[in-house]
């Protein structure tokens, strides 16, 4: 396939490299000169059958679509893999369709490690026939491609999942600090909760204290992993979606405040599980 790839940052760079390694003809563009082979975005989309965007925010995606849609061949499939607002995802989809193209939202989980190893999970919102076209292309960059439903459903799945994750990491961290204060060892709490009803990914894979899960970022000075700043971004998107859907997501918005305060105190670049250190400090 001829693929135009816009946004060659931490995620987009290795994703585009994996597409090329799988035999696709990739023309990449980034506003930072030298990252891609194309010198302007139109050059990257002009002959493409599929255009992939991996950009910082919804504003970037909508602006980018505005400048390239008219220059792509009719019927080109536009796949946005960025994490953006559900409303922006739907607007981007509509703009592409209005310009005579196909579109899908396909945000990812798996981070830079997954992008590099081609083991990402894609959550796709698209019409059935557009999903069928996108799936083999996305498979070259990931291990799992899930069709979540209509356009926008991929972004919805991503922010709902990350709202669960953001809240559950705080709950697990508060429990560890409480255990410490009550004289219960971290290992003992882990042994009980990891096989009891407190079991969750935040505990058993990304355990916020060093020791029980040797591969978790807590054992590596909280190097991400998944940075607090990115969790904060996703919780902001979840809060915005909850507001526009009229959902009272009380813990989701409280979690956003908790991570924001931690980021303001300098924790933005640390793995989000480092939130346990802030809770411990406040409990000293
Ligand atoms: P990044 O900032 O490293 O990369 C974004 C790139 O887009 C930059 O190189 C920037 O120069 C480029 N860019 C901006 N405007 C552009 C335009 N108009 N045309 C072409 N290029 C443009 O960010 P990232 O970490 O690669 O993340 C990209 C997206 O993936 C974000 O939406 C993020 O939320 C999401 N995401 C990131 C991770 C992660 O672990 N980094 C995990 C899951 C999802």
**Four-point Cα dihedral 272, 277, 278, 283, nearest 10:** 140
Q: Look at domain 156-282 and name its CATH class.
A: mainly alpha
Candidates 187, 203, 174; CA nearest to 277 is: 174
The CATH number of 2-151, from 3.30.70.1150, 3.30.565.10, 3.30.465.10, 3.40.50.720, is 3.40.50.720
Pairing label, strands 25-29, 2-6: parallel
Question: What does the pLDDT read at residue 217?
Answer: 96
Q: Please tell me the residue having the least CA distance from ligand 1 atom 29.
A: 82
Q: Please tell me the residue having the least CA distance from ligand 1 atom 40.
A: 111
Candidates 97, 106, 112; CA nearest to 18 is: 112
111: Cβ below 6 Å to ligand 1?
Answer: yes
Q: What is the pTM of this model?
A: 0.94
Q: How far apart are CA 97 and CA 69, in angstroms?
A: 10
Question: What does the pLDDT read at residue 41?
Answer: 97
Question: What does the pLDDT read at residue 259?
Answer: 98
- ipTM value: 0.99
Question: What does the pLDDT read at residue 141?
Answer: 98
Grouped pLDDT means (10 residues each) for the chain, 284 residues: 97 98 98 94 98 97 98 98 96 98 97 94 98 98 98 97 98 98 98 98 97 97 95 97 97 98 98 98 96
Name the residue ranges covered by the structural domains of the chain: 2-151, 156-282
159: Cβ below 6 Å to ligand 1?
Answer: no
| Cβ atoms 101, 75 nearer than 8 A | yes
Question: What does the pLDDT read at residue 173?
Answer: 98
Measured over the CA atoms of residue 14, residue 19, residue 20 and residue 26, the dihedral's sign is negative
Q: Please tell me the residue having the least CA distance from ligand 1 atom 12.
A: 7
Pairing label, strands 108-109, 120-125: antiparallel
- Which tokens belong to 3? 């693929």
CA 35 – ligand 1 centroid, Å: 13
CA 192 – ligand 1 centroid, Å: 39
31: Cβ below 6 Å to ligand 1?
Answer: yes
Q: What DSSP element (H or E) covers 283?
A: none
32: Cβ below 6 Å to ligand 1?
Answer: yes
CA 145 – ligand 1 centroid, Å: 20
CA 284 – ligand 1 centroid, Å: 38
- Asked if the domains 2-151 and 156-282 are classified in one and the same CATH topology, the answer is no
Q: Please tell me the residue having the least CA distance from ligand 1 atom 8.
A: 9
User: Which residues participate in catalysis according to the annotation?
Assistant: 158
């Amino acid at each position: 396939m001829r693929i135009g790839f816009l946004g060659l940052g931490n995620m987009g760079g290795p994703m585009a490299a994996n597409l090329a390694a799988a035999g696709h003809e990739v023309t990449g563009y980034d506003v930072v000169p030298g990252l891609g082979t194309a010198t302007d975005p139109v050059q990257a989309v002009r002959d493409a059958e599929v255009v992939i965007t991996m950009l910082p925010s919804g504003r970037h995606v909508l602006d980018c679509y505005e400048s390239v849609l008219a220059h792509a061949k009719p019927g080109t499939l536009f796949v946005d893999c960025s994490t953006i607002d559900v409303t922006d995802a739907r607007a981007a989809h509509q703009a592409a369709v209005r310009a005579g193209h196909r579109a899908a939202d396909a945000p990812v989980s798996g981070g830079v490690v997954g992008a590099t190893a081609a083991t990402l999970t894609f959550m796709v919102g698209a019409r059935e026939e557009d999903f069928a076209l996108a799936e083999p292309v996305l498979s070259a960059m990931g291990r799992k491609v899930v069709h979540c439903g209509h356009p926008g459903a991929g972004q919805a799945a991503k922010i709902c999942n990350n709202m669960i994750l953001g809240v559950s990491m705080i709950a697990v961290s508060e429990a560890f600090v409480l255990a410490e204060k009550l004289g219960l060892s971290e290992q003992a709490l882990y042994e009980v909760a990891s096989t009891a009803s407190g079991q969750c990914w935040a505990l058993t894979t990304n355990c916020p204290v060093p020791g029980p899960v040797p591969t978790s970022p807590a054992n590596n000075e909280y190097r991400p992993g998944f940075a607090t700043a990115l969790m904060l971004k996703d919780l902001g998107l979840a809060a915005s979606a909850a507001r526009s859907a009229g959902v009272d997501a009380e813990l989701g918005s409280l979690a956003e405040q908790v991570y924001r305060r931690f980021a303001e105190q300098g924790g933005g670049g640390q793995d989000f599980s480092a939130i346990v250190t802030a809770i411990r400090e406040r409990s000293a």
